[in-house]
A and B are shown apart, each in its own frame.
Chain A
């Protein structure tokens, strides 16, 4: 199964907190390929896809940042209307809840959706049955 590893960070929702995390990553020469921030009142959760997840985890942990790994699926879709719908429908058909999703355009006609679900393995099987390509960590970093 092709899945990607994200790092998730728990931080205070205060000015400068995100900058502190990104600065720590930059200091360790870690390249951020994708990021989302979800704030909830006093705190936020930042998620990153980085080129060196273990080094990133270590650098953050060492600097007292609360960090954990998350597994997600990176689904390659055509950059055209209805692409997200294909994925959502395939999962819904199998009663799989989409916890979180976000996408980005990789190049001229390709988009990549980062899909977070509870049961990553089952979702991967379903999506592959629907002939969707799941990127490995290595492919994702080249994309």
Chain B
């Protein structure tokens, strides 16, 4: 099933021709209208005529999150403010937010991309989508909302939290799909288990669109098993419309990134040099259809890999692997770099363990991993728990080359957040 078969299955050569046209158009527009890019182009000695092939994109300057914060609240508008119909902001962990403006056409394009994603997953008119993301300045909920309406779904704008009410809505309106963060999906699964509700028998859920935080394959399988549905990995960021940038097809193997709307590059996060397909690096995106606020070579800080080989579903847009981490989230302990997701992946692969964990860095680079024990992991024998503890420590050491201290804790001991879970506590005083 395709929403837009012509575009989604377009021959690569035609797609690349389209990309180049759109890139040239975008660059020309910002060169004429956006002072920020005019200055950057001048500093780099670049003129729009220099852009003759897609490879020339490397001659363009990068745009960073810091650039967007520095231009808050005016943003990097390429249209008169009157032509903008919506504002979103993206809050960083520190400092000022980023102001992101959408024209009417941008709002419509964002919905079009979501429609492609949902139909790709098998959704159609008549499905009921319960949108458990935060409505408001954050793009996650609204962009999905508009796209699902476009498909003809009944959209329930539930917003996050209040699990009792979520459950009531699912029962009363026979919700068939949810859009949620992985931490909320896990939290909700736990809530159902405690209430003794069997989602397979008592709910109509078939699909979950899960994104906004990186999560592992193990977490996906855990959500699928607990809720009795299929989880589709969703990737997006507010700077690029929010959700709908890249999304999984039924193969569940990498996310198709809509290349007619975004030009994708993978670079080495430190040197900025391109990384060959199949190798991990930072995702850099250039908007190709954005009207109000085009962004050139935006540094997403998300670490991923391009899967260049054709997909069995017939779509020609290349896939990216699930996000391995944020280059900002990278942790360094005892001189070794790693991402929290590497630890999560190990923990979620062990049935004796629960869903909550906390990575603590303290003192002189001491790494402690606290993880909740699952009901299935407790047989009353302290020796078995001690053995489990050393097995976890050994597995983590094999992956990171740093041996952590592992603390098993009872369920409910670690902080659970209904939104973005806090998984790292850095108490080092270095």
Q: Identify the A interface with B (CB < 8 A).
A: 6, 8, 10-12, 38-45, 47, 64-66, 68-70, 99
Contact = CB atoms under 8 A, between A and B. Distances in A.
Interface of B: 370, 373, 375, 378-383, 385-386, 389, 407-413
A99 B412 contact: no
Contacts of B386: 40
Given A43-B385, A45-B385, A65 B410 contact: yes
A119 B195 CA distance: 35
Contacts of B373: 10, 66
Chain B at the A interface: SS class: mixed
Contact of A8 (B380, B383, B407, B411): B380
A43 B407 contact: yes
B428 to A, nearest CB: 20
Nearest to B383: A99
Contact of A10 (B370, B378, B383, B407): B378
A40 B382 contact: yes
B413 A40 contact: no
Contacts of B407: 41-43
A12 B385 contact: no
A10 B381 contact: no
13 contacts: A6-B380, A12-B409, A12-B410, A42-B370, A42-B408, A43-B408, A45-B382, A66-B378, A66-B410, A66-B411, A68-B379, A68-B380, A70-B380
Nearest to A116: B381
Contact of A38 (B375, B379, B382, B408): B382
Majority SS at the chain A contact face:
strand
A79 B373 CA distance: 40
Contacts of A12: 409-410, 413
A69 B378 CA distance: 10
A64 B379 CA distance: 17
Contacts of A99: 381, 383
A57 B428 CA distance: 41
Given A40-B389, A43-B407, A70-B380, 19 more contacts: A6-B380, A8-B380, A8-B381, A10-B373, A10-B410, A11-B410, A12-B410, A40-B385, A40-B386, A41-B389, A41-B407, A42-B370, A45-B380, A66-B373, A66-B378, A66-B411, A68-B379, A68-B380, A69-B380
A61 to B, nearest CB: 10
B412 A42 contact: no
B357 to A, nearest CB: 14
A78 B410 CA distance: 40
A125 B135 CA distance: 66
Nearest to B375: A66
B382 A68 contact: no
Given A10-B373, A66-B373, A66-B375, A42 B409 contact: yes
Contacts of A42: 370, 407-409
Nearest to A45: B382
A45 to B, nearest CB: 4
